[in-house]
Amino acid sequence: MYDFVPAYVAPAGSPIRELHKYVGLPDMISFAAGYPDGALFDVEGVQRAFEQAYADPRRCLQYTGTEGLPVLRDALRSLMVGRAAQVEAENLLVTTGSQQGFDLLLRVLMQPGDICLVEQPAYPATLQALRMHQARIVGLHGDEGGIDTARLRAWLAEHHAAQPIKALYTVPTFSNPTGRTLSVQRRRELLELAVQYRFLVVEDDPYSELRFEGPALPSLLTLAADIPGASDWVVHLSSLSKVIAGGLRVGWMIAHPDIIKRCVIAKQTSDLCCSSLTQAVAAAYLSSGDMDRHFPKVIASYRDKCVALIAALQASFGTSIRVEHPQGGMFLWARCEEVDAARLLAHAIDNRVLFVPGGAFYAESGPSPEFRLSFASPSRQELATGAQRLHAAYQQSLA
């Protein structure tokens, strides 16, 4: 009846969002959604920030520049200094979460048929956005250390002359869905390849503050400053969703001014500007020092929950399950060789426990024994009970 553009003739929704209809079932335990633990929100600190922001209602209730509220931009630049990255104002754009930043980048750079390399398994919303922009997605299968840069180097040497790539997308620190972290050596090699073959590296970095084990690693953005020409080829995306509150919907993009300029114009045609009110609240909170005081509590809780869920899975499954142990983030990547995770999910729903099957995280979906579990939001008791329910579903799948 309607003449939709090709990408929206038969669009596929988010496989994770599709599971939300089950969350409200009685007694359901969800390991599916990548939500932070609402019980750990700094409610009092955010309320104080709201009151401070609203002390100047004419500012926070009015439109602001597309680039972002100046006081928030200054606060974000200070935050990045704490992450060992010097950022000029012309390199920064405030976005409605980091996902909008990625979408804006695709709008200004990606034409139908352009190639984007994506680490696999990958965040489904990234795959969804690339499909909507009719990009050609090439999956890079790595290992427990993330992208295998030796394999990437070989692929580029063989294919790039005939099939030049436009960009590479990665979550190098506590990847979603695997929780994997790219080593410093591989980060440097990736940046050197980007300079050599002239492609953008899109670094999505929403989880690096959630480290509960091991030393902090420099971001690709930070390392690029020491590699000639590399800073021109890095686009850094980040967000406050996982470290303050997802409801603020505050993210940011750091990139070359030529990219930022065009993304600003693309954003003007999308939402004009982010909410001035939530930007003012975020700026007040970041400037208060409350996050530094509060966040150790969040880290300690996630550390304990991660350990608890791994222990509960091993107690229930024994050697039937393989679980990667992350150093931070919100996710576990698990594998049960004998079953297809999509079939396991049907039994899991009957047993009132949810997870995301591994096929959702690949450009070409198919049967997979892998699945993602989020330990951040459930309570300790739910982690233990959910592991038992998952094992019951596993036994039913085998039968």
**13 and 73 fall within a common domain:** no
What pairing do the DSSP bridges indicate for beta strands 370-374 and 331-335? Answer: antiparallel
Domain that holds residue 373: 6-30+292-398
What's residue 163's pLDDT? 87
**197 and 269 fall within a common domain:** yes
**64 and 209 fall within a common domain:** yes
What's residue 3's pLDDT? 87
Assess whether pLDDT exceeds 80 at residue 365: no
**381 and 370 fall within a common domain:** yes
Amino acid at 5: V
Residue 36 lies in a domain: no
Give residue-wise pLDDT tens across range 328-359: 999 999 999 889 999 999 999 999 999 999 99
Q: Mark which of 272, 289, 306 sits at the end of a domain.
A: 289
Supply φ then ψ for residue 244, to 5 degrees: -120, -70
pTM of the model: 0.95
Residue 123 lies in a domain: yes
Our count of domains for the chain comes to: 2
Residue 46 lies in a domain: no
Give yes or no for a contact between 292 and 68, defined as CB atoms under 8 angstroms apart. no
Give yes or no for a contact between 175 and 126, defined as CB atoms under 8 angstroms apart. no
What's residue 291's pLDDT? 92
Question: What is the enclosing helix (H) or strand (E) of 280?
Answer: helix 276-288
Assess whether pLDDT exceeds 80 at residue 12: no
Question: In sequence order, what are the residues at sequence separation of 6 or more whose Cβ sits closer than 8 angstroms to the Cβ of residue 89?
Answer: 73, 77
Q: Which residues of 209-232 are buried (b: 16+ CB within 10 A; e: fewer)?
A: bbbbeeeebbbbbbbbeebeebbe
Q: Mark which of 289, 309, 331 sits at the end of a domain.
A: 289
**Summary mean pLDDT of the chain:** 94
**394 and 332 fall within a common domain:** yes
Place of tokens 């982690």: 383
Assess whether pLDDT exceeds 90 at residue 316: yes
Give residue-wise pLDDT tens across range 154-200: 999 999 888 899 999 999 999 999 999 999 999 999 999 999 999 99
**244 and 352 fall within a common domain:** no
Assess whether pLDDT exceeds 90 at residue 269: yes
Q: How confident is the model at residue 24 (pLDDT cuts 50, 70, 90)?
A: confident
Least confident among 12-21, 217-226, 321-330: 12-21
Question: In sequence order, what are the residues at sequence separation of 6 or more whose Cβ sits closer than 8 angstroms to the Cβ of residue 117?
Answer: 138, 139, 140, 152, 165, 167, 168, 169, 199
Residue 228 lies in a domain: yes
**206 and 161 fall within a common domain:** yes
Residues across the chain: 399
Residue 45 lies in a domain: no
Supply φ then ψ for residue 370, to 5 degrees: -95, 155
**140 and 242 fall within a common domain:** yes
Give yes or no for a contact between 133 and 107, defined as CB atoms under 8 angstroms apart. yes
* Token pair of 209 as six digits: 């503050």
Give residue-wise pLDDT tens across range 126-158: 999 999 999 999 999 889 999 999 999 999 999
**123 and 255 fall within a common domain:** yes
CATH number at residue 161: 3.40.640.10
What's residue 6's pLDDT? 82
**228 and 188 fall within a common domain:** yes
CATH number at residue 26: 3.90.1150.10
**161 and 282 fall within a common domain:** yes
Q: Mark which of 289, 318, 351 sits at the end of a domain.
A: 289
Residue 47 lies in a domain: no
Assess whether pLDDT exceeds 80 at residue 13: no
**194 and 270 fall within a common domain:** yes
Assess whether pLDDT exceeds 80 at residue 366: no
Residue 376 lies in a domain: yes
Question: In sequence order, what are the residues at sequence separation of 6 or more whose Cβ sits closer than 8 angstroms to the Cβ of residue 257?
Answer: 90, 91
Residue 41 lies in a domain: no
What's residue 25's pLDDT? 84
* Token pair of 143 as six digits: 């290992």
